[in-house]
Amino acid sequence: MKMTKLLLFGALIPLLACSKPSPDKPRPDKEPPGTRIRVQAYLFSWNGNWETPVSTADMAKVTDLTLAFFNPAANGDLGPDRAALKRAVDGARAKNSAVRIYFAIGGGNPSAHLEHLIKPDNRTAFIAKIVQLTTDATYGFAGVDVDLENDLINADYAGFVSALGTALHANNKVMTAALARWKTQQSIADSTLKQYDYINIMSYDETGYWNPTVPGQHASHAKAVTDFQYFKSRGVPAGKLLIGLPFYGYGFGTGFPATEASARTYSQIVQTYPGAAGRDSTIVSGAGTIWYNGQPTITGKVQYAVSEKAAGVMIWELNQDLPTSDERSLLRTIHQAIP
pLDDT in tens, 278-303: 999 999 999 999 999 999 999 999 99
Q: What is the pLDDT of residue 201?
A: 98
Residue 164 lies inside a defined structural domain of this protein = yes
Q: Are 193 and 235 in contact (CB under 8 A)?
A: yes
In a domain, 256, yes or no: no
Mean pLDDT confidence for 136-141: 98
CB 145 within 8 A of CB 44: no
Q: How confident is the model at residue 35 (pLDDT cuts 50, 70, 90)?
A: low
Is 19 domain-assigned? no
Q: What is the pLDDT of residues 170-194, one digit of tens each?
A: 999 999 999 999 999 999 999 999 9
Using CB atoms within 10 A of its CB, is residue 304 exposed (0-12), middle (13-18) or buried (19+)?
middle
**Is 258 within the bounds of a domain?**
no
| Interval 197-236: pLDDT, tens | 999 999 999 999 999 999 999 999 999 999 999 999 999 9
* In a domain? residue 21: no
Number of domains in the chain: 1
Give 97's contacts (C-beta < 8 A, 6+ positions apart).
none
What's residue 171's pLDDT?
Answer: 98
* 192 within a domain of the structure (yes/no): yes
pLDDT at position 29: 63
**8 found inside a domain:** no
For residue 63, give the amino acid letter.
Answer: T
156 against 47, higher pLDDT: 156
Question: Do the Cβ atoms of 317 and 247 come closer than 8 Å?
Answer: yes
- Percentage of the chain beyond pLDDT 70 is 90
Q: Which domain holds residue 195?
A: 35-247+293-337
pTM, to two decimals? 0.91
204 domain residue, yes or no = yes
The pLDDT-based confidence of 48 (bands split at 50, 70, 90) is confident
Domain with 45 in it: what CATH number?
A: 3.20.20.80
The answer to whether the beta carbons of residues 311 and 241 sit under 8 Å apart is yes
